């Protein structure tokens, strides 16, 4: 059993401070809700304390300061955490490169990423896909009386076709990393694949 120590508590507070003013796309939900969800999924999949911390901080470099934040994470939480956070970051540049270029590069990187990076990345994508489906059904309404589910795609930099292309690519890249050997990541890949099928049905 993985034990959580004061190091985890420090990371939780650090993440809450970094993302204090950030909300989820298209709403007023504090971004920490997403970070804690990814952390929970990573722990449930068998991740240790370092991976739980990396899950809390997986968006810190991309969204909250770039390379200087990665350096700070390394100093505070160690090389392993920093390496996983870096592996889950699609860019540390500002301004960010075009969306399609970033995602193509990230998919290429993910195919050869180590199991720790793939576990945290898969946890992140599973949580994102769950959120999209939840928000779709909320906007659509019970029985469809609201009928606004299509609006979820308007929150993103890319249209629904490109978003679904990216999610399909994530499943393929994560599968490639398995290399015929079952890992802790495998159940998350299976769940992500099921979620992608549901997303494709919504768009059909």
> What average pLDDT values come out for the chain (204 residues) when binned by 10 residues?
88 96 83 97 97 98 92 98 97 88 96 97 96 79 53 62 92 90 92 94 75
Nearest one of 105, 56, 125, 46 to 84, comparing CA atoms: 56
Give the ranges where the chain is alpha helix by DSSP (H).
6-18, 32-44, 49-56, 60-64, 67-77, 79-87, 99-110, 115-140, 160-178, 186-203
Against a cut of 0.85, is the pTM above it? Answer: yes
Torsion 184-12-128-109 (CA) sign: negative
pLDDT of 139 reads: 67
pLDDT of 162 reads: 85
Q: How far is CA 43 from the centre of its chain?
A: 14
Task: Check if the beta carbon of residue 156 is closer than 8 Å to that of residue 163.
Answer: yes
Greatest CA span in the chain, whole angstroms?
A: 52
Angle at 57 between CA 188 and CA 179, to 5 degrees: 35
Task: Check if the beta carbon of residue 179 is closer than 8 Å to that of residue 49.
Answer: no
């Amino acid at each position: 059993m993985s034990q959580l120590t004061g190091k985890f508590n420090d990371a939780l507070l650090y993440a809450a401070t970094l993302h204090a003013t950030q909300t989820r796309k298209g709403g007023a939900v504090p971004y920490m809700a997403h970070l804690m969800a990814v952390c929970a999924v990573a722990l449930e999949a068998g991740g240790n304390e370092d991976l739980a911390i990396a899950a809390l901080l997986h968006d810190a470099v991309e969204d909250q300061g770039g390379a200087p934040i990665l350096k700070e994470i390394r100093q505070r939480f160690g090389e392993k955490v920093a390496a996983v956070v870096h592996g889950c970051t699609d860019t540390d540049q500002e301004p960010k490169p075009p969306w399609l270029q970033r995602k193509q590069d990230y998919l290429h990187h993910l195919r050869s990423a180590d199991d720790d990076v793939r576990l945290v990345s898969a946890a992140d994508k599973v949580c994102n896909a769950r959120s999209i489906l939840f928000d779709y059904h909320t906007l659509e309404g019970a029985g469809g009386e609201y009928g606004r589910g299509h609006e979820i795609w308007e929150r993103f930099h890319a249209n629904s076709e490109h978003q679904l292309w990216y999610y399909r690519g994530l499943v393929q890249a994560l599968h490639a990393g398995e290399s015929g050997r079952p890992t802790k990541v495998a159940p998350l890949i299976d769940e992500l694949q099921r979620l992608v099928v549901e997303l494709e049905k919504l768009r059909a």
